[in-house]
Structure 1
């Protein structure tokens, strides 16, 4: 699981703000610019935005593409997506408890189908 840290150093936009924008439906850098104000020019934006956008579950290393494909193939609940992909079923390394921080994003992917 990724820790919160500043990604866009120019505009001081952190990882959690980017993930919240994704949970609201952002799937492109342009949408992240609109929803979060990331600059796309600083070193953090250049080196991390694409990886963040392409990932859903850091605990289980499940990509956005994998989750979208599961949804397109009939997984219509967060639990079904988890059964198929493992997303949302990870354990927080620090606390040892179920993480599930990506479940909101998974639900948004189900709702939008993308």
Structure 2
């Protein structure tokens, strides 16, 4: 649930800043597909790691490198782990 709310808030913020075209929204959507910007790890890659047994943020980091940079994505990773249980 937290991830969906975060996506919604990012899209609304982009709209408030003037994003109006489909192309602009597609660019925002592509940014939202990334779980970890530092290591360029997608949400799908994190989900696959969790499905393959990574049940902690640290294990997801070992499998994908997500969360091993600045750490700002650890909340998203944790949400994905909780949603997949």
Which TM class, normalised by the smaller chain length?
A: 0.7 to 0.9
Report the RMSD for the aligned CA atoms in angstroms.
2.7
- Per the TM alignment, residue 37 of structure 1 is displaced from its structure 2 partner at its CA by 6.7
Scaled by the length of structure 2, what TM-score is found?
0.76
Indicate conservation of the 8 Å contact 1:25/1:112, yes or no: no
Q: 2:50 aligns with which of 71, 87, 90?
A: 71
Deviation string 1:45-102 (CA, Å, 9 cap, x unpaired) is 5243211221000000000000000001110000000000000111xxxxxxxx1000
Tell which has more relative contact order, 1 or 2 (C-alpha 8 A, sep 6+).
2
Indicate conservation of the 8 Å contact 1:89/1:100, yes or no: yes
Count of residue pairs brought into register by the alignment: 78
C-alpha separation between the residues in 1 aligned to 2:71 and 2:11? 26
Q: Which runs of 5+ in 1 are unaligned?
A: 1-22, 91-98
Q: 1:54 aligns with which of 12, 26, 33?
A: 33
Aligned to 2:75: 104
Task: Report SS of the residue matched to 1:107.
Answer: helix
Deviation string 1:12-41 (CA, Å, 9 cap, x unpaired) is xxxxxxxxxxx81318xxx72xx56725x6
Scaled by the length of structure 1, what TM-score is found?
0.58
Q: Which runs of 5+ in 2 are unaligned?
A: none
